[in-house]
Amino acid sequence: MLKKNNSIKLLKYYKFINYNLIYNNKAINRFKKDNFEISEDKAKSLETLKNSIINQKNCDLKNQAKNIVFSDGNPKSKIMLIGEAPGANEDQEGLPFVGRAGQLLDKMLLAIGLDRKKVYISNIVNYRPPENRRPNPKEVERYLPFITKHIEIINPKILVLLGSTAMNAIIGNDVVISKMRGQWIEKKFGNCKTSVLVTFHPAFLMRQPAQKKMAWIDLKMIRDKKNKLKI
Ligand code: URA
């Protein structure tokens, strides 16, 4: 028998490690990290989407990768960022933007008062293309329904496309980033109506630091829109 003092200590410990002693028959919400408590419907939709990506047949990208890179950040966020494809670090960790480009992305977000707890991040394709090459048009076409569904589920008010692969996949192939960046366009994905902004990919900014001043203009546009929409 546990003494009363010990059981109080044990309960305090369970509370501390967030361990729920009471069993119930609610679905396990795997997206419930930090305070990212989302509706069961949203958690279920994300889980279903992730499983449909994992369960694809005959996908070379998937077969050559170590891990699926589904998303990071807060699924409740009204700001969603989409990159190109996971690299070696992301493949290893199963999370987007954890390598050098990710470190720059974190700094860019921080400059406008954001971080990974305040945004949601994914990529056009969810598996690392070998040798860090760009995903080819066939691969983009294959993954486009998944990322479109992903946007619909997250339902962001602001959608930021990082780089030309994300821009061409989501907006179309007849646009170039030098002309598209720095302007808001409105787009619908199912029931999700969102303001879309294209900006440079952080990996491009590492190669072309002179373009950071343009990226700063875009970041300030995101900050202003976020304030205007009271996000
Ligand atoms: N570049 C991307 O586009 N996505 C990542 O997740 C990492 C690097």
**Has residue 107 got a pLDDT over 90?**
yes
**6-11-14 Cα angle (round to 5):** 125
Ligand 1 atom, smallest distance to 90 CA:
6
Query: Ligand 1 center to residue 217 CA distance, Å?
Result: 21
pLDDT in tens, 140-160: 999 999 999 999 999 999 999
Residue range 20-55, pLDDT digits in tens: 555 555 555 666 556 678 999 999 999 999 999 999
Q: Domain 41-228 is of which CATH architecture?
A: 3-Layer(aba) Sandwich (3.40)
Q: What is the pLDDT of residues 156-175, one digit of tens each?
A: 999 999 999 999 999 999 99
* DSSP characters over 102-154: HHHHHHHHHHTT--TTT-EEEESSSSPPGGGPPPPHHHHHHHHHHHHHHHHHH
Q: What atom of ligand 1 comes closest to residue 166's alpha carbon?
A: 3
Atom of ligand 1 nearest to the CA of 203: 1
> How far is ligand 1, taken at its centre, from the CA of residue 190, in Å?
25
> pLDDT of 167-221, one tens digit each?
999 999 999 999 999 999 999 999 999 999 999 999 999 999 999 999 999 999 9
pLDDT digits 0-9 by tens, 74-106:
999 999 999 999 999 999 999 999 999 999 999
